Amino acid sequence: MNLMAQNLRVSQYEQTAYELRGIVYVPHYRNTKIFVGPGYPRHNMTRYSAAELELMGANPRMEFLWSRGIGGRVSDGRVSDSNP
Protein backbone atom coordinates (compact mmCIF):
# COMPACT_ATOMS: atom_id res chain seq x y z
CA MET A 1 0.00 0.00 0.00
CA ASN A 2 1.42 3.40 -0.91
CA LEU A 3 1.84 6.23 1.62
CA MET A 4 -1.03 8.28 0.17
CA ALA A 5 -3.48 5.43 0.73
CA GLN A 6 -2.19 4.93 4.29
CA ASN A 7 -2.68 8.62 5.12
CA LEU A 8 -6.29 8.49 3.95
CA ARG A 9 -7.04 5.96 6.69
CA VAL A 10 -5.80 8.15 9.56
CA SER A 11 -8.58 9.78 11.53
CA GLN A 12 -8.72 13.54 11.40
CA TYR A 13 -10.35 15.78 13.99
CA GLU A 14 -11.78 19.25 13.68
CA GLN A 15 -9.48 21.58 15.61
CA THR A 16 -8.95 25.30 15.95
CA ALA A 17 -6.05 26.79 14.01
CA TYR A 18 -5.21 30.47 13.50
CA GLU A 19 -4.45 32.41 10.34
CA LEU A 20 -2.26 35.50 10.51
CA ARG A 21 -1.22 37.33 7.34
CA GLY A 22 -1.78 34.23 5.22
CA ILE A 23 0.12 31.86 7.53
CA VAL A 24 -1.77 29.09 9.34
CA TYR A 25 -0.69 28.20 12.89
CA VAL A 26 -1.76 24.76 14.10
CA PRO A 27 -1.77 23.19 17.57
CA HIS A 28 1.51 21.60 18.61
CA TYR A 29 1.43 17.80 18.45
CA ARG A 30 2.06 17.23 22.18
CA ASN A 31 0.59 20.39 23.69
CA THR A 32 -2.56 21.69 22.04
CA LYS A 33 -2.39 24.99 23.95
CA ILE A 34 0.69 25.95 21.91
CA PHE A 35 0.44 26.91 18.23
CA VAL A 36 3.25 26.56 15.69
CA GLY A 37 3.74 27.66 12.12
CA PRO A 38 5.37 26.21 9.02
CA GLY A 39 8.88 24.86 9.47
CA TYR A 40 8.56 24.09 13.17
CA PRO A 41 10.91 22.98 14.74
CA ARG A 42 13.71 22.72 12.18
CA HIS A 43 13.52 26.15 10.58
CA ASN A 44 11.27 28.10 12.92
CA MET A 45 11.21 27.57 16.70
CA THR A 46 8.55 30.23 17.35
CA ARG A 47 5.60 29.13 19.51
CA TYR A 48 2.46 31.11 20.36
CA SER A 49 -0.53 30.80 22.65
CA ALA A 50 -4.03 31.40 21.26
CA ALA A 51 -4.16 34.70 23.18
CA GLU A 52 -0.88 35.90 21.61
CA LEU A 53 -2.11 35.09 18.12
CA GLU A 54 -5.42 36.85 18.74
CA LEU A 55 -3.61 39.96 20.07
CA MET A 56 -1.59 40.05 16.84
CA GLY A 57 -4.83 39.97 14.82
CA ALA A 58 -4.97 36.28 13.87
CA ASN A 59 -8.35 34.84 12.94
CA PRO A 60 -9.42 31.45 14.30
CA ARG A 61 -10.47 28.85 11.75
CA MET A 62 -11.41 25.21 11.92
CA GLU A 63 -9.12 22.68 10.27
CA PHE A 64 -9.25 18.90 10.05
CA LEU A 65 -5.95 17.71 11.49
CA TRP A 66 -4.44 14.49 12.70
CA SER A 67 -4.89 13.80 16.37
CA ARG A 68 -2.99 16.12 18.72
CA GLY A 69 -2.03 15.10 22.24
CA ILE A 70 -3.59 11.93 23.59
CA GLY A 71 -6.58 10.71 21.61
CA GLY A 72 -7.25 14.18 20.22
CA ARG A 73 -7.83 15.64 23.69
CA VAL A 74 -6.07 18.72 25.03
CA SER A 75 -2.66 17.74 26.29
CA ASP A 76 -0.20 19.72 28.39
CA GLY A 77 2.94 17.98 27.17
CA ARG A 78 6.22 19.76 27.89
CA VAL A 79 7.50 21.79 24.96
CA SER A 80 10.73 23.82 25.06
CA ASP A 81 13.67 24.73 22.82
CA SER A 82 15.46 21.57 23.95
CA ASN A 83 12.30 19.45 23.61
CA PRO A 84 10.44 20.80 20.57
* 55 falls within a domain: yes
pLDDT at res. 72? 46
> Is the pTM above the cut of 0.85?
no
2 lies in some domain: no
Residue 52, amino acid? E
Residue 30 counted as domain residue: yes
Which pLDDT band, with edges at 50, 70 and 90, does 4 fall under?
low
Q: Which domain holds residue 53?
A: 12-66
Within-domain flag for 50: yes
Q: What is the pLDDT of residues 22-65, one digit of tens each?
A: 999 999 988 889 999 999 988 989 999 999 999 999 999 999 98
Q: In this structure, is residue 82 part of a structural domain?
A: no
Beginning with the edge strand found earlier in the chain, give each strand of the sheet holding 12-20 in spatial order.
47-48, 35-36, 23-27, 12-20, 59-66
| 73 is a domain residue | no
Into how many domains does the chain fold? 1
